Structure 1
């Protein structure tokens, strides 16, 4: 590839695209098909220009050979997709409220923990709409919220979206499904058309950076009762999906529930979970008595 100038078109050669695709897959488990070439070219252009390197070859060499974790994080932030909004696929939040939480409370009571904590993980959490939606649904609609301790954790591979999630500022597109009384109660207007979620809700969610395919990093996540991992496994190949499934399995308590996206099915990935047919759809349960 020739040196890129601000005015010339930036395009990876086929060989460069393949090298980059292989490298990114090995580091993240995410694989891009040739159909994503235009998307990848534009995002890599931003990385190269932002790094100050004169060309893709120089940038890629610095990324692979140098000890430059910030370059890998910048690449990851550019190439991950963060499509989300409040109350998305909320039939699964309905399932959380009933029957999942009553079942979990009964299990906690049998284990001598009638007041919890109930531990919930949202991964990937993107800019925070999902974990904050969970918090609001619990506060508004779960009668036991004043009696039972609940911990909400959220994680993503992208450091930029995590910073935005912690800040908690949203526009109309993200907020379109938030009931108006909830918008008035849990958000404050900061600029025209933008609202920031109240400190009490932001303080209820603990954010982490992690790659769900990184088995070593995922070992810090354990003992969760419910994990929402929606619309991410579709970006993985068979090997990465299986590794992610095993890591999610290890993060759940025996008897805990995994919620996938509507287009995802654990039956195509791994047999380690037990499918659980709920009134609202399928969830996947770590069998009781299953060891990590």
Structure 2
């Protein structure tokens, strides 16, 4: 009996721990956004200012040390957050918008339109994602515009499938037909009743997609296919410091840890949002 009570007591404890973890993850993301916005005012140094002493260990004057050119790593990471967040939000948002529009059209109209969308989605989904992403960016040239086009070209498929499935489900329930019978127009029914159901799915996936976009931007920047050289960006900072891994590991460790922490926090918030959407208030 005591073992049962003890086992039962673990459940509330796990819920509390999980809730605190989700709260901590959300707090870290909010802090990251605040740091990114206020970087020009709170960064201790200019991200491009070089020190004559060049490489310096973490110290009271440079909390995270400096890179090979004597630039303060903490300041560059603050500006890198600004760069990355300004890229990953549209990199996840544009595919969501495009995919939602295409999925709504395919699910609501059906017929040849639905068949064509499904065929195109199957073709794109069969492509090796990262190879195709690198090829697109390399063909269009380095820069934010190329990144956004490439992420949109590959990312709309999941959103289109999610929305199409939900729209077809709502449409097949007879709810849409009932609204048509009482005189509501197709666009009005679509906006007021169909899309709100579909957007719950896309909102959840959008959060997870932010993490994928963060990784994608960092990887492309690491291979010199992202932002311009010299621009503070986490992947670029790692690429610039990789040759100093043995003598200046902190130059790689700090931006690398930032990518991992942000990715974990985004995933945690996405898990919590998904659980809430499924009706679990504790985010289990």
What is the TM-score when the length of structure 2 is the normalising length? Answer: 0.26
Q: Please identify which structure carries the higher helix content.
A: 2
Higher relative contact order (Cα pairs below 8 Å, separated by 6+ residues): 2
| Structure (1 or 2) with the larger CA radius of gyration | 2
What is the TM-score when the length of structure 1 is the normalising length? Answer: 0.26
